[in-house]
Structure 1
Amino acid sequence: MARPSTRSLDGLVLAPVADQAPGQVGTRTRFTYHERDGRIWAEYEGGDVVRGYLVGTRAGDRLDFRYVQLKQDGSTASGHCVSNVVQLTDGRVRLEETWAWESQEGSGTSVVEQLPS
């Protein structure tokens, strides 16, 4: 059973548990998170994403951030995401996300989880 978590995301590496639509974040994408004083940011890459960045804030178990990415085809995309931070029974962190593109059509939900040590 997962429960809300206030554990720091600083230095954690997370990956999606499922692929999204083609040309977007997928199971081969890796996010490296950083956190300090209520601010969060991450770099990500892998799969169809050459390079991506996110930046935002954290209040308790809620993240609110914007993201921007460069894809393999040379196009860029940006959007907004709100995530709930939960702790899995094995101690790893999961982010349950609701996102929407701002640079193109589309929105959805996704889950990323901390990779096992």
Structure 2
Amino acid sequence: MARSLDGLVLVPVADQAPGQVGTRTRFTYHEKDGEIWAGYAGGDVVRGHLVGTREGDRLDFRYVQLKRDGTTSSGHCVSTVVELPDGRVRLEESWEWESQPGSGTSVVEQVTEHDS
């Protein structure tokens, strides 16, 4: 199992559709006893939260966010935790909105000190 996500900051490696999470979004993860949670903001997202569980290298969580245009949205995501050769963490994600149509995949990676 890859190391704990607690305290790690991760960023998307590519922009999603306009008005969604993008490369300017920062996720700050926390983990304790199989529970995971994170806050995120940046780009078109004013504030977002996710909460769920971790079993081995699999995360299963729900997310909710407030966008700059004042709308809210929510969804479900399942991620696989991958440890990169340089020791950083990558999450390979498969997500779907529950509050609106749409689904997809994305990748977020740990930010190193000089990247932040």
Per the shorter chain, which TM-score range?
A: over 0.9
- Count of matched residue positions in the alignment of Structure 1 and Structure 2: 113
Who is 2:17 aligned against?
21
Greater RCO (Cα-Cα under 8 Å, separation 6 or more): 1
1:116 maps to a residue whose letter is: T
TM-score by structure 1 length?
Answer: 0.95
Deviations 1:43-70 (A, max 9, x none): 0000000000000000000000000000
1:80 maps to a residue whose letter is: H
2:58 maps to a residue whose letter is: R
Partner Cα separation in structure 2 for residue 80 and residue 23 of structure 1? 18
Who is 1:44 aligned against?
40
CA RMSD of aligned residues (A): 0.5
Who is 1:55 aligned against?
51
What is the correspondence of 1:85-96 to structure 2 with a 5 Å cutoff? 85-96=81-92
Cα distance, 1:6 vs. partner? 2.5
Who is 1:115 aligned against?
111
1:78 aligns with 2:104: no
TM-score by structure 2 length?
Answer: 0.96
Unaligned runs of 5+ in 1: none
Deviations 1:2-40 (A, max 9, x none): xxx431000000000000000000000000000000000
Structure 1 stretches of 4+ with a deviation exceeding 4 A read none
1:106 aligns with 2:106: no
Partner Cα separation in structure 2 for residue 72 and residue 6 of structure 1? 34
Partner Cα separation in structure 1 for residue 101 and residue 19 of structure 2? 13
1:34 maps to a residue whose letter is: H
Q: SS where residue 104 of structure 1 aligns? A: coil
Unaligned runs of 5+ in 2: none
